[in-house]
Amino acid sequence: MSALDAHEQHERAEHAHHAQDPFITRVSITIALLAVAAAIVGSLETVQSATAINATSRAVLAQDKATDVWNEYQADSLKKHIYGIAADAPGPDAARYRKTSADQVAAQKTLRDEATAGEQERDQLVKTAETAERRHHWLTAAAALLEIGIGISSVSIITKNRLFWFGALALGLGGVGLFVTGWLV
């Protein structure tokens, strides 16, 4: 909600206070409550959107790191096989090649563990991004209902029609319901 909107809501509340009309006072309080709810939901919507983007970016980086490690693992595998072939050939360096081939096996185990950890980090970040994105969509709908409720509440003040106010209350409750559902899903 912008500063201009907040100022307009304040002016409506002052007008209702001066008019001493209980209906206008109730609707003004409804508008204020819906505005607070919309501000909270809108802020959380922004946070969830940023969380989804951040987690997705970090997941891509984790995957890139894991891919680099798997590439190194493959290179070490090739080296191990080459040294193994060289160790099987007769010559003075066969023992050194055998040791180097065995060293490659140990290095591959470390690389495999590192690559697997990177993939697990990626998977966790993808889950975080999916949860945040799902919440973002629910919160967007919730904020929209709350803001529509504010607009319809304003119409009820202008027309002094209770049906508009009841509709605004229903929209506000719907917005709160979407917020709760979205946060729990």
| C-alpha distances out from residue 158 to 29, 141, 153, Å | 15, 26, 9
pLDDT per residue as tens digits for the range 120-174: 999 999 999 999 999 999 999 999 999 999 999 999 999 999 999 999 999 999 9
pLDDT per residue as tens digits for the range 24-62: 999 999 999 999 999 999 999 999 999 999 999 999 999
- DSSP string covering 140-166: HHHHHHHHHHHHHHHHHHHHT-HHHHH
Dist CA 12 CA 20 (whole Å): 12
Q: Which of 7-21, 55-69, 71-85 has the lowest mean pLDDT?
A: 7-21
Q: What do you get for the CA distance between the two ends of the chain, in Å? A: 26
Residue in this structure with the two tokens 């993939």, named with its chain if needed: 119
What is the domain extent for residue 86?
3-184
Helix or strand or coil: residue 97?
A: helix
Domain total for the chain?
Answer: 1
State the virtual CA torsion across 138, 142, 148, 151 in degrees, nearest 10.
-150
Residue in this structure with the two tokens 């140990």, named with its chain if needed: 106
pLDDT beyond 90 at 99: no
What pLDDT is recorded for position 9? 65
Query: For residue 32, what are its two tokens?
Result: 């204020």
91-105 b/e with 16+ CB inside 10 Å = b?
Answer: eeeeeebeebbeebe
DSSP state of 93: T
The C-alpha angle with vertex 140 and arms to 137 and 145, in degrees rounded to 5, equals 130
Dist CA 35 CA 32 (whole Å): 5
The C-alpha angle with vertex 105 and arms to 104 and 109, in degrees rounded to 5, equals 115
